[in-house]
Amino acid sequence: MRILVCVKQVPEVTDVQVDPEKGTLNREGVASILNPFCEYAMDLALTLKAAHGDVEIVTLTMGPPQARAALLRTLEMGADQAILVTDRKFAGADTWATALTIAEIVKKQGGGFDLILVGKHAIDGDTAQVGPEVAEILSIPQVTYAVALELDEKRKNVIVKRETEMGYEKVRMKLPGLVSVSKGANVRAVCSFEAVLAARSKPLRTLTAADIGLDAAELGLQGSPTQVVKVFPPTVKTAGERISGADPEAAAKRALAFLKENQFV
């Protein structure tokens, strides 16, 4: 069985600041990490590998050359090999152009992945679109917000425990398919020194736009139907006024006075 885990390198959210003049994220000097939800996807892949043994885990990321660090993290966690998709022609890609590129890579691999895992969203963009778009482009089934996975006896289906607004539900999905992963009970792993050293000898290859074969008009900013015009922090709202006391009449009068003072009535 082959599992593809799509990951992303993101800035540490506690350090991100917005340039008030340019309306863009200031990434200079900001530490980058493997997106936490991608780590949770890796956790589920490793759970399947531990349960069944003959499972190969391949990780993939699309980004600048420094995104190699995110792939090294996945190799340290237990992935068998990794693919870095990097080229200046990919710059400015929106979710659609990114998904199209990833889907084309999957096709170039001969469609040889039984399961594709992604984080439910990246903590920098928070769109949650790339995974579902990849599934639609490849015409494979998908399940979102997974917190646990298991294979059926014949290994033709995966049983997914997923979050819902009302709690949890279990669904059965025919393979090959795609699953987006939420947090659940997973925690960020601490890799051993031996695992860190072993990761350096695992295969990590690089693909460029020329290796993928898509038309230049489908890549990067040129192939993106949406563009980010401006990024800005939400407006900070001041706390409201709490009216306390056991006298309903006095409380009502204070509430009415507050509404008049703020020109709501």
- Using CA atoms, how far apart are residues 228 and 92, in angstroms rounded to an integer? 9
Phi and psi (nearest 5°) for 186?
-70, 150
Instruction: List average pLDDT for each run of 10 residues in the chain, which is 265 residues long.
Output: 94 67 62 90 94 93 93 95 95 92 87 90 87 95 95 92 93 96 78 90 94 91 84 74 82 89 85
CA atoms within 13 A on the CB side of 229: 2
The answer to whether 147 and 179 have CB atoms below 8 angstroms apart is no
Give pLDDT, residue 230.
Answer: 73
Give pLDDT, residue 24.
Answer: 57
Give pLDDT, residue 236.
Answer: 77
Amino acid identity at 132: P
What domains are defined for the chain?
Answer: 2-218 (3.40.50.620)
Q: Which of 143, 129, 116 is nearest to 60 (CA)?
A: 116
- Using CA atoms, how far apart are residues 156 and 164, in angstroms rounded to an integer? 25
State pTM to two decimals.
Answer: 0.82
- Using CA atoms, how far apart are residues 10 and 60, in angstroms rounded to an integer? 14
